[in-house]
């Protein structure tokens, strides 16, 4: 089954404790990205990747890191989480970006205390 | 800069009634428009998209949208809604970085 998976689905952590949210897709997609969803703000892009070893900032990259060492995986790293990063995070993938259907993972709900 | 405005944050409607969810966009480049749906506690899934060609686009679950360049709009419609259509709907425009620029969402609530 074609899908985007994210882990964990739910995470409660404390300020400053490094964490990684994993994202994996099995569709051989070139393009992957991370969004955060906040009430009343819709979804905003954090980082994106056009291909292996190619990543770039989206609209709200501060406090986040990403890497793309393999085509299928695109982890999101919060080196020192803060309460304002409490949000719902989605990973998405597609063959070539905005003209193609983007497939979304189920989401990761992160709470930073 | 590209942007999307969804004119209604919440739309309540009775079952079997028609519904229109409004979306206006701003873009200085080629326009690619999308509607995504998010059911409770799930990720987003594509309803329909406009890339070029016919301005009336049909999607899944009986939804359709019309691209209107002069009005810069891409409103979503369904002639008869079901309880199962209760969800949040997002309009998006394709960005220059390959990303999607989303509106703030419209919560559709279908009542029996």
Q: Which two tokens stand for residue B70?
A: 């002069």
Contact between A43 and B51 using a beta-carbon 8 Å cutoff: no
Q: What per-residue confidence (pLDDT) applies to B10?
A: 96
Residue A74 in this model has a pLDDT that exceeds 80: yes
pLDDT at B4: 94
The per-residue pLDDT for range B12-31, each reduced to its tens digit, is: 999 999 999 999 999 877 78
Q: In this predicted structure, what is the pLDDT of residue A31?
A: 93
Task: Spell out which chain A residues touch chain B, with contact meaning CB-CB distance below 8 angstroms.
Answer: 4, 31, 33, 35, 40-45, 48, 50, 56, 58-59, 90, 92, 96-99, 101-102, 104-107
- If pLDDT is split at 50, 70 and 90, which confidence band does B2 have? confident
pLDDT at B96 over 80: no
Cis peptide, bond prior to residue B33, ω within 30 of zero = no
Task: Give me the pLDDT at residue B14, please.
Answer: 97
Residue A72 has pLDDT above 80, yes or no: yes
Tell me the shortest Cα–Cα distance from B31 to chain A, in angstroms: 9
Distance of alpha carbon A45 from the chain centroid: 9
CB A19 within 8 A of CB A13: yes
Tell me the C-alpha distance between B65 and B3, whole Å: 18
> How confident is the model over B76-88, as pLDDT tens digits?
999 999 999 999 9
For range B1-17, the mean pLDDT: 94
SS (H, E, C) A78-112: ECCCCHHHCEEEEEEEECCCCCCCCEECCCEEEEE
Nearest to B97 among A42, A56, A99 (CB): A56
> CA of B83, closest CA in chain A: separation in Å?
22
| pLDDT of amino acid A1 | 84
The 10s digit of each residue's pLDDT in B20-61 is 999 999 987 778 999 999 998 888 999 999 998 899 999 999
- What was the pLDDT predicted at B68? 94
Residue B34's pLDDT is what?
95
What is the predicted pLDDT for the residue at B86? 97
**B3 closest CA partner among B35, B26, B33:** B26
pLDDT at A45: 92
B6 - beta bridge partners? B23
Q: Which pLDDT does position A99 carry in this prediction?
A: 78
């Amino acid at each position: 089954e074609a899908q985007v998976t994210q882990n964990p689905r739910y995470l409660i952590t404390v300020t400053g404790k490094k964490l990684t949210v994993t994202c994996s897709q099995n569709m051989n997609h070139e393009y992957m990205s991370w969004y955060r969803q906040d009430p009343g703000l819709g979804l905003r892009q954090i980082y994106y990747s056009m291909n292996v070893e190619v990543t770039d900032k989206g609209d709200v990259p501060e406090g986040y890191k990403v890497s793309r060492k393999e085509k299928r995986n695109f982890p999101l790293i919060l080196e020192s989480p803060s309460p304002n990063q409490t949000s719902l995070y989605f990973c998405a993938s597609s063959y070539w970006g905005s003209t193609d259907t983007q497939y979304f993972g189920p989401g990761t709900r992160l709470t930073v205390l | 800069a590209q942007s999307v405005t969804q004119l209604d944050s919440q739309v309540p409607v009775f079952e079997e009634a028609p519904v229109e969810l409004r979306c206006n966009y701003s873009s200085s480049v080629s326009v690619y428009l999308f509607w995504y749906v998010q059911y409770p506690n799930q990720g987003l899934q594509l309803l329909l998209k406009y890339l070029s060609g016919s301005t009336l686009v049909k999607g899944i679950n009986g939804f359709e949208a019309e691209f209107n360049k002069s009005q810069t709009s891409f409103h979503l419609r369904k002639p008869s809604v079901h309880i199962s259509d209760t969800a949040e709907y997002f309009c998006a425009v394709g960005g220059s970085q390959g990303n999607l620029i989303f509106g703030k969402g419209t919560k559709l609530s279908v009542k029996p």
